A = this chain, B = another copy of it.
């Protein structure tokens, strides 16, 4: 009988700590997921604006999809080629960029949805103008442990520009 006491104590001591840790781990993971997805939303604009279109395409899942003003394109490699065609491969001499804001993300296991706002800022002679603005509606997937766009839909709340393509 006496030899059972340590076992009972072991279970008493170890079980609650393990259960508590499991709870802490799940809560941490929820915050980490939101943080990591926020970074994907920010990197999308950062890599697009700096014309690092390989890094831009790497934010999409292998079979990820982009839907927006330029059309629809599916597959990471296709997305890169598509954006290179539409945005060019040279540096962004205009210095235009996207303000990303208002992230609303919902995670469910290894998939997530995100909603956010973009404003496309174009420097000019006197300060800058918001030449276009709209929304992103995203589904994301955890692929090999990293959050990727499964499908990004870029909607425009302003009239698209008549002349040179500016992307979003």
Residues of A near any B CB (own CB < 8 A): 2-3, 5-7, 9-10, 12-14, 16-18, 20-21, 24-25, 27-28, 31-32, 34-35, 39, 42-43, 45-46, 95-104, 115, 117, 119, 121-133, 157-159, 161
Q: Give the residue name and chain of the B residue nearest to A127 (CB).
A: B131
A46: which B residues are within 8 A, CB to CB?
A: 102, 104, 115
Number of copies: 3
> Could you give 14 example pairs across A and B, Cβ below 8 Å?
A10-B13, A17-B21, A31-B35, A39-B104, A46-B102, A95-B157, A97-B157, A99-B101, A100-B102, A123-B158, A123-B159, A128-B132, A129-B130, A130-B130
Task: Give chain A's interface secondary structure class.
Answer: mixed
Distance in angstroms between the alpha carbons of A13 and B46 in the assembled complex? 47
A101 touches B104 (CB 8 A): no
Supply 10 further A-B pairs (C-beta < 8 A) apart from A46-B102, A46-B104, A97-B157. Answer: A2-B3, A20-B21, A21-B21, A31-B32, A95-B158, A99-B102, A100-B101, A121-B133, A127-B132, A127-B161
Which residues on B sit within 8 Å (CB–CB) of A45? Answer: 102
Chain B residues near A16 (CB, 8 Å)?
A: 14, 18
Q: Give the complex CA separation of A21 and B27 in angstroms.
A: 13
A115 to B161, CA, bound (A): 29
- Pick from B24, B96, B104: contact of A43, CB under 8 Å: B104
A33 to B99, CA, bound (A): 23
**Alpha-carbon gap, A34 to B42, bound state (A):** 14
Across the A-B interface, the 4 shortest Cβ-Cβ residue pairs: A95-B157, A127-B131, A123-B158, A128-B130
